[in-house]
Structure 1
Amino acid sequence: MKTLSALLAGLSLFISPLQASAGSIASAAPPALPRAVGTGISFQLTPQQITQRYTSAKAQLEAALRLVVALPADQRTFANTVKAMESASADFSDAVEPMSILGYVAADPLVREAARSLEEEAGQYQVALWARPEIYRAFKQYADKKETLTGEDARLLEETERGFKSSGHALSEADRAKLSQIRQRLTVLSTQFEANIADDQGFIDMPIEDLKGMSEDYIASLKRTPEGKHRVTLAYPHYIPFMDGAHSAEMRRQLWTKFNNRAAKKNPPLMVEALRLRDESAILLGYPSFPAMQLENRMAKSPGQVMDFLKRLYAMVRDRGQAELKAMLEVKLQDDPTAKRLEAWETSYYGEKLRKAKFAFDEEEVAKYFPVDKVVSGTMRVYEKLFGVKFSEVPAEGAHHPDVRLLRVDDAAGGGTLGYFYLDLHPREGKYTHAAVAGLIKGRELENGRYQRPVALMMANFPEAVPGKPALMRHEDAVTYMHEFGHGLHQILTKAKYASFSGTSVARDFVETPSQMLENFAWQREVLDEISGHYEDASRKLPPELFEKMLAARSFNRGLLYLRQIAFGMADMTLHMIVPKETSMLFGQFMELVGLIPSPDGVKREASFGHLMAGYSAGYYGYLWSEVLADDAFTRFAKEGVLNSVVGMLWRREVLEKGSSRPEIDSMRAYLGREPNEDAFIQKLLR
């Protein structure tokens, strides 16, 4: 899933200058912000403290920029102008992002609301801040000197100039003001869109007869109402197993509709407005469309290249997807001889029935071998072997919830502590409902020569313990965990000089590559021996015969899976190209014509498609683009050894440590020793 830099995009100009509110430059430096010991973060904040700390952080940024602006033109250097702006922006981000994340994870609704307000205000603030002519003038006075720079310094100058261009400094004063207003409004729309999804905590209270087909453990995990019913929520640990196994077609229909209609009343108008404003911003800046603007600095360089890529993949998997759909319909015909098609709420159910019939294994049986604690500890051991690190669990003092765990990450070769990684693994009311990793503190070189230790946070919604059993994961949950942990490693193992290039601050169509590459490890016997162990006896690893069945089923319904991703990518790009006044019809057409699964009338699936309103706007294709590179990257491990530490350290050194301090394609070339290609990905598609 997405890194939270996508959700919190814009809290640093040079990471994303698109979300940044105006204020005058402060006349006096504020007192330093208090910093906690260890990670440097205190999550135990009241709404008032959030406001106070934000005000202080903004004052510090203003004071730092005031000093930059005041310099005479002939005294400007890279260090006192470009680097000083970067450092001031990074300091602001380090102060604000750990508070913004509380809008997604805090248990107290008042704290969540305060953090969301902060995120919105900070985004608006930075939009207007970096549109100020006096700040751009200071930058241009240095840039006009045309000094020779190399390496990351040269790249920072280039990216900073691009950021100022994006802020409209080549426009007239009136157009620049209009662009700033648009960008500020887009910040508000994005924050509101995500908040509306998070706040739609739907559920259905069901009598026991509606839970036929569900396991005893599943039923035991459900909250009981005073009336004796069982509450099935929209959280993944409830929703996914229910759609896979519940016998009641009517209750599956109701739950599917609630899940896919989250925020359906509030969000569609926000999306329509955002599409229009993005298009207006691109036109103001001289681009033919918003996608053309977004793709300028990505690996895919044009909307045409993206659509050609997606169409080519569609042609490869269309027939396979249609055959898979037909096979599931044949299973449904055994229940309903008059059936003509599969409904959207039936695909998971009949897909699971067909998978069990073909491969003779049950996910509930598999889950017994993947206790959450075992997956957590085993994943650490695997990544220790691969990447030359050492994980230690330390007290998560000051964390935002008692369930949160904290890992210290040390360099195994004696290089000291590299960073910290929070794990927030289980669902709760008001928490972000998907899986993501937030970079809270960016790794970067500080003015005193010390390297700042990065801090990251994983948010996930894995199953909780039930009476008599620990928390257990399905294998797909273990894959997700290894993926998300990969985002954390990308953040923590960085050696980038500047925050703008640190960790996951890479091209949006590359950011998933390191984590998608690691998904492959969850299918390797050597790795499964590390991360699996029966909950009753950890020495009992995943049985070989069960593993063989899982491998045989790995490509099951793969055609439909990729058609769904292609449909999302095409819908995203087309919505941003056409800019319709109503989104549901077009979105639904792509889901039906490309994804092959129609939605009933009145369902607004795009209302909960948060990617389109965050960092993946005109960028959802990036999941597939990144996967091509990820599969190519894994070929070295497949050939030279799954747990080969030499290859692992090469990946760490050439990709994870670099971030975007050089073009991502150069990092891939350095790791592979050749040009990247699609061969491994295409072979997987055709298996």
Structure 2
Amino acid sequence: MGIKTPPQAPPTWTLTPEQITSEMEILLADAKKLQDEVSATQDPTFESVIKTLGDASNVRDGLVNQLTFYQHISTDKDVRDSSNKAEEFYRDFEIESSMREDLFKVVNAVYNSKPDIDPESKRLLEKMNLDFVRNGLALPIETREELKVLQKKLSNLEVQYNKNLGEETGFIMFTADELDGVPEDIVSQFAEVDGKYKMTYKYPDLFPVMKYAKNPDTRRRAFVGDQNKVMENTELLMKAVKLRADIAHLLGYKTHAAYVLEDRMAKSPEKVMTFLNDLRTKLSIAGKAEITKLLELKAEDQKALSLPEDPTFNVWDYRYFDRLLLEKEYEVDDQKISEYFPMQSTIEKMLGIFEVLFKLKFEEVTGADRAVWHEDCKQFAVWKNDTGSDEFVGWLYFDLHPREGKYGHAANFNLSPGYVDKDGKRVYPVTALVCNFSKPTATKPSLLKHDEVVTFFHELGHGIHDLVSVTKYARFHGTNVARDFVEAPSQMLEYWCWQPEELKGLSSHYTEEGKTIDDDLIAKIVKSKHVNGGLFNLRQLHFALFDMTLHTSDGNIDVTKTWNGMREDIALMQQGNETTYGYGSFGHLMGGYDSGYYGYLWSQVFAADIFYTEFLADPMNTTNGLRYRDTILKPGGSREALDSLKELLGREPNNVAFLSELGVEN
């Protein structure tokens, strides 16, 4: 059967700054009116309170996501500012709502009545009630009022921090000599002013300079400049850490981390710290050996370039000598490899993997039918076909190249969750990948380096999670799972980028149509997977332990000293006499990952266990793919992640595959 017209139109992306503001105001006024009505319910039932609030939230979540998304992708600063302001309005509304004693009373009354309802509805009721309890509704009114003030202050700090990061336009001017070693096709994309080249801090500019510039001072300036690019954010984070500690104390928790982790898979700071410190002990041995190896390479390089001896391994040396080691000893040449991964064909082949594994179909929308926010965007209608007929699952967007004012990293944004509306009709999700891969030039398409292929596949994994999830309530849809599990499905999919057959299948040389990557080059890529893996993961541990150190404190902490000291101590890299302020652009700490960065490492344990158990022997096994899709991805957060894992694996998850993958002893 051929693909039909989608049963749901895509969103439109034409709002003006004034419309964004007015739509948010109307949305919040309607929401408040509904909450007033529900809180006045005389005989609270599941239908009159929980389902009514749930149905309203289903609709509202998608509209809010879209209004606040403009700040990340619009080319119009006024639109971005308006979207940012709209997010502030919404956050304030959420805080007000979460502190309403009248709403808590009717929700709690339903909770105590223990209604006979389906499991997902029961979970919604439990979560709604717990939200109010965790927001202090059982506390005296004076304490609640104090909490409300502190939470609004914290919310405004987070919004401002992310606004500063999104609007960042810093750069460094380098001479051609200072950029010696950086590939010509990269330098040619830098703006040239008075014989100097403008390197911005966007990844397609910064990373090649860090990886290829022969001059160590160029790398130092680029690294320090990037770390210190949003100095106004340093004070905002310091204030936020103190506010979080104060809020946790008012709520009766010892620390902010204790408050956050109560509702995660890990459950406690002690369990997280045990996990991180155990991993640090095991990885430090590997990291020290890797530093020794890289220092030998550095000594050779300094001599070859007639530079003075430097026996220290600085943090700005890492990307350069990591790349040099891969090229010299593993013969992994990023530029050569990228020739086999032109963006367009690589995307098509990636989508092809999901067509086999999860029985999906991706139909690109072109021409006048496109509903996009920028000409660079791609739009897909996505269907599944595992029952013999096409069934719509949702809309998918790709926005893949950097531009001024655009979100600067790689991320998946859920623009509208899926759910069942109040009439029992399915509403389909809308999801977007926002990345920053280099733009095509007059002579070359956009070519993806292998690590960019991995990044793309990872973010696409989040998008697929959004698309194939089927839940009754938006609250549990797709990636709305425990924060320390959310990365696991995407991390699991990264393994496909390291399997020889799948890697060959993704490749196609940009000048020689049909020519796939050579087997010997594939073997070199696979062999290099965990080169400097100790140092890479120690860097992750620096971030995770910094996060936990801040959020197990009372907020009276020297953040700058902690950031710099922990890097040298944990990541094993020196930074000369430089003091850096990288926590000012560590967006995770002000974007929902506070007391949660450990989750990247924590969830890798589950990712490795799933892949080794279900897919290692046959990565393209459709039967296992569909079972994984329906057991892990489909339920979203409508059940405990651990229950889904145990059902898929047939046992409790363990870290055997994870440690084996890293090559460290258990």
Q: Is the 8 A contact 2:488 2:606 kept in 1?
A: yes
Label 1:393 to 1:534 Cα distance change in 2 as closer, same or farther (>3 A).
Answer: same
CA shift for structure 1 position 39: 4.5
> 2:65 is matched with which residue?
97
Out of 299, 306, 309, the residue aligned to residue 265 of structure 2 is 299
1:51 corresponding residue in structure 2: 21
Q: Which residue of the partner structure matches residue 268 of structure 1? A: 234
The change in CA–CA distance for 1:125 and 1:656 in structure 2 (over 3 A counts) is same
Aligned residue among 307, 310, 313 for 1:339: 310
Confirm whether residue 197 of structure 1 aligns to residue 165 of structure 2: yes
2:248 to 282, 292, 304: 282
- The reply on whether 1:663 has 2:663 as its aligned counterpart is no
1:189-338, aligned counterparts within 5 Å?
189-225=157-193, 227-264=194-231, 266-334=232-300, 335=302, 336=307, 338=309
More moved, 89-98 vs 498-507: 89-98
The offset of 1:640, in angstroms, is: 4.1
Amino acid at match of 1:300: A
Q: Is 1:619 equivalent to 2:596 in the alignment? A: yes
1:129 is displaced (CA, Å) by: 2.0
Contact kept, 8 Å, 1:61 with 1:91, in 2: the verdict is no
Please give the alpha-carbon distance, in whole angstroms, between the structure 1 residues aligned to 2:282 and 2:113.
Answer: 52
Alignment correspondent of 1:82:
50
What's the counterpart of residue 455 of structure 1?
Answer: 430
* Alignment partner, residue 421 of structure 1: 396
| Counterpart-to-counterpart distance in 2, 1:187 and 1:90 | 23
Cα deviations across residues 600-633 of structure 1 (Å, max 9, x unaligned)? 4331111111111121100100000000000001
3-state SS of paired residue (1:658):
coil
Question: Do structure 1's residue 407 and structure 2's residue 374 form an aligned pair?
Answer: no
- 2:477 is equivalent to residue 502 of structure 1: yes
Matched residue type, 2:373? H
Q: Could you report, residue by residue, the CA deviation over 1:56-113 in whole angstroms, capped at 9, with x for unpaired residues?
A: 211221232233223222xx32122111112222322221110101111111111111
C-alpha distance in structure 2 between counterparts of 1:197 and 1:94, whole Å? 24
Instruction: Find the residue that maps to 1:310 and give its secondary structure.
Output: helix
Q: Is the 8 A contact 1:571 1:590 kept in 2?
A: yes
Partner of 1:686: 663
**Superposition pairs of residues 411-490 of structure 1, within 5 angstroms:** 411-413=384-386, 414-490=389-465
The whole-number CA distance in structure 1 between the counterparts of 2:266 and 2:436 is 32
Partner AA of 1:159 in structure 2: K
Q: 1:37 to 1:180 in 2, by over 3 A?
A: farther
Partner residue of 1:604? 581
Aligned match of 2:152: 184
Q: 1:337 Cα shift?
A: 5.8
For residues 602 and 679 of structure 1, the distance between their equivalents in structure 2, rounded to whole angstroms, comes to 39
1:148, distance to aligned residue in structure 2 (A): 3.3
Other structure's SS at 1:546 match: helix
Superposed CA deviations along residues 202-253 of structure 1, whole A, max 9, x for unmatched, are: 212223222211222222222233x243222111111111111111222211
2:32 to 62, 71, 76: 62
**Residues 280-309 of structure 1: CA distance to partner in whole angstroms, max 9, x if unpaired?**
111111111111111111111111100000
Per-residue CA deviation, residues 307-347 of structure 1 (Å, 9 max, x unaligned), is 00001111111011011111111122221563220222112
Helix, strand or coil for the counterpart of 1:262? coil
CA contact (8 A) 1:437 1:487 kept: yes
Amino acid aligned to 2:363:
S
Q: Structure 2: 5+ residue runs without aligned partners? A: 1-5
2:327 maps to which of 356, 361, 371: 356
1:42 to partner: Cα distance: 2.0
Contact 2:539-2:570 at 8 Å conserved across structures? yes
Q: Secondary structure at the match of 1:434?
A: coil
Q: SS of 1:346's equivalent?
A: helix
Aligned counterparts of 1:293 and 1:584: Cα–Cα separation in 2: 24
- Partner SS for 2:188: helix
Question: How far apart, CA to CA, are the structure 1 residues paired with 2:206 and 2:133?
Answer: 45
Q: 1:197 is matched by which residue type in structure 2? A: L
Measure the CA separation in 2 of the matches of 1:598 and 1:161.
Answer: 48
Q: Percent identity?
A: 33
The CA deviation at 1:511 is: 0.2
> Residue 391 of structure 1 corresponds to which residue in structure 2?
362
1:491 deviation in Å? 0.7
- Against the structure 1 CA distance between its residues 189 and 495, is the aligned structure 2 distance closer, same or farther, given a 3 Å change threshold? same
Instruction: Find the aligned partners of 2:32 and 2:39 in 1 and give their Cα distance.
Output: 10
Q: 2:132 aligns with which of 156, 161, 164?
A: 164
Residues 202, 345 of structure 1: CA spacing in aligned structure 2 closer, same or farther, 3 A cutoff? same
Aligned with 1:376 (options 347, 361, 365): 347
1:673 is aligned to 2:644: no
Q: Which amino acid aligns with 1:573?
A: M
How many residue pairs match? The answer is 648
Q: Deviations over 1:629-683 (max 9, x none)?
A: 0000101344441100011001100010011111000111111122111011010
- Residue in structure 2 matched with residue 154 of structure 1 by the alignment: 122
- Mean Cα displacement is larger for which, 368-377 or 202-211? 202-211
Q: Give the secondary-structure state (helix, strand or coil) at the position aligned to 2:571.
A: coil
Letter of the aligned partner of 1:238 in structure 2? D
- Partner in structure 2 of residue 586 of structure 1: 562
- 1:164/1:40 Cα in 2 relative to 1: closer, same or farther (>3 Å)? farther
Equivalence for 1:570: 545
| Cα distance in 2 for residues equivalent to 1:674 and 1:503 | 24
Query: Contact 1:44 / 1:398 at 8 angstroms: preserved in 2?
Result: no
- Length-normalised TM-score, structure 2: 0.95
SS at match of 1:641: coil
2:609–2:655 contact (8 Å) kept in structure 1: yes
Contact persistence 1:43–1:99 (CA under 8 A):
no
Residue matched to 2:495: 520
Q: Secondary structure at the match of 2:316?
A: coil
1:619 counterpart letter in structure 2 = G
- Which amino acid in 1 is paired with 2:657? A
Could you say what secondary structure the match of 2:241 adopts? helix
Q: Aligned partners of 1:607 and 1:71: how far apart in 2?
A: 46
Report the Cα distance in structure 2 between the residues aligned to 1:351 and 1:361, rounded to whole angstroms.
11
Report the alpha carbon displacement of residue 568 of structure 1 after superposing the two structures with TM.
1.0
Question: How many angstroms apart in 1 are the aligned matches of 2:399 and 2:228?
Answer: 26
Cα distance in structure 2, aligned partners of 1:189 and 1:495: 34
Match of residue 3 from structure 2: none
1:452-477 superposed Cα distances (whole Å, 9 cap, x missing partner): 10001111011111221100000100
Which amino acid in the other structure matches residue 282 of structure 2? M
Q: What is the alpha-carbon distance in structure 1 between the residues aligned to residue 253 and residue 318 of structure 2?
A: 41
What is the RMSD of the two structures over their aligned residues, measured on CA atoms? 1.6
Q: What does the per-residue CA deviation read over 1:376-430, in whole Å, with 9 as the maximum and x for residues that have no partner?
A: 1011000110011111111473422110111111011325210011101111111
**Secondary structure at 1:540's aligned position in 2?**
coil
The residue number in structure 2 matching 1:138 is 106
The answer (yes or no) to whether the contact 1:102–1:115 under 8 Å persists in 2 is: yes
- Asked whether the 8 Å contact 1:220–1:466 carries over to 2, the reply is no
Q: Is the deviation greater in 423-432 or in 398-407? A: 398-407
Cα pair 2:615 2:621 within 8 Å, conserved: no
Aligned to 1:21: none
